[in-house]
Amino acid sequence: MKKDRLYYNLSEYFRQKYGRRLGKICIDGGFSCPNRDGKCGVGGCIYCGERGAGEHIDATGSIKEQVLSALNSGKPDGRYVAYFQNFTNTYAPINVLKERYDAALVDERIVALAIGTRPDCIDDEVCRLIADYKERCDVWVELGLQTANDKTAKIINRGYTLSCFENALKMLQKYGIPVVVHLIVGLPGESLDDVKQTADYISGLNIFGIKIHSIYVMRDTRLAEMYEAGEYEPPTLEEFVSGATYILTHISPGTVVHRLTGDCPKDALIAPEWNSDKHKVIAKITENMEREGVKQGCFFSPKCK
């Protein structure tokens, strides 16, 4: 990591590995979620909308058509990550998974495959399939942990325990599959101390990357109902910045920071207002780290787990 960097971001990782930045093609793979169809719950996580975190995706056409459309609108000499983003992208029979992943890898400009999913939809068969793609391109799996607190997990209707996450992480790492972990700052009932406990937990894991999300209240979600009923108050910008700074300073310097804030469509955002300007949020994190004289991993302490 460069000395003048406060944190190791994804753009720098791409430049180191490929000598260039990569574009990201966000794909709607047509998957569902076991937390919606009744297998482990209904309604999804309380902050999740009807698109399952895919509100920004233009899902017109098949997977292949989505990818080709993005490629046609990009630079002819560009290189891209095919990102299966919304809902649970390992939640289907193995032959269906292979068919859909293959459909995304239709052009040599696709050099990486990213798969967002849930820990309770990871098993050996899924891991073997994903590991096979390492011969064709870079690949990683993104797991939505959000919090290491099982009590909070019940409040947000996450649908799985911390032990389930740990089992999935071990399986993926056994097959040499890099893992990106998602965390959320500002969950109902959580204080800065809870965020710190989750950060300390994550620091003991050998993960490839991390995504830090600022929670937002989006229309037509259970969290919106809680907010309107006075049962939930989102964090202030200062509180989010404090939580994000703690996470960054306590994770390994080699962990790639894929995201630093949430990204709700402005027409669906109820609160907090500051979430509508992600550039401002990132700037505030940078300002805070510079003011405190800290950088990623400065308080990292390797742990054996």
Around Cβ 266, how many Cβ atoms within 10 Å? 8
Q: At what angle do helices 162-174 and 124-132 cross, to 10 degrees?
A: 40
Band (3; pLDDT cuts 50, 70, 90):
low
Beta carbons of 271 and 234 less than 8 angstroms apart: yes
Look at residue 58 in the predicted model and tell me its pLDDT.
60
Sheet holding 179-185, edge to edge: 23-27, 80-84, 110-117, 138-146, 179-185, 209-214, 256-259
Please, what are the domains in the chain?
10-292 (3.20.20.70)
Polymer length in residues for the chain: 305
Beta carbons of 292 and 285 less than 8 angstroms apart: no
What digits encode the pLDDT tens for the residues 21-37? 999 999 999 998 998 87
Name the residue with tokens 């999935």: 168
What digits encode the pLDDT tens for the residues 36-78? 877 877 778 999 876 444 444 566 789 999 999 999 999 999 9
Local structure of 193: helix, strand or coil: helix
Look at residue 263 in the predicted model and tell me its pLDDT.
82
Q: What percentage of the chain exceeds 70 in pLDDT? A: 95
Look at residue 163 in the predicted model and tell me its pLDDT.
97
Buried b (16+ CB within 10 A) or exposed e, 114-149: bbbbbbbbbeeebbebbeebeeeeebbbbbbbbbbb
303: pLDDT strictly greater than 70: no
Q: Which long-range contacts (CB under 8 A, 24 or more apart) does 155-158 make?
A: 155/46, 155/187, 155/188, 155/189, 156/45, 156/46, 156/47, 156/187, 156/188, 157/35, 157/41, 157/43, 157/44, 157/45, 157/46, 157/222, 158/35, 158/45
2: pLDDT strictly greater than 60: no
What digits encode the pLDDT tens for the residues 67-120? 999 999 999 999 999 999 988 999 999 999 999 999 999 999 999 999 999 999
Alpha-carbon gap, residue 210 to 142, rounded angstroms: 9
For the record, the structure tokens of 227 come out as: 């907010």
Band (304; pLDDT cuts 50, 70, 90):
very low
Q: How many CA atoms lie within 13 A of 278 on its CB side?
A: 14
What digits encode the pLDDT tens for the residues 120-174? 999 999 999 999 999 999 999 999 999 999 999 999 999 999 999 999 999 999 9
Q: How distant, in Å, are the alpha carbons of 16, 77, 78, 121, 155 from that of 20?
A: 8, 11, 9, 33, 42
First to last CA, the chain: 25
For the record, the structure tokens of 247 come out as: 């996470």
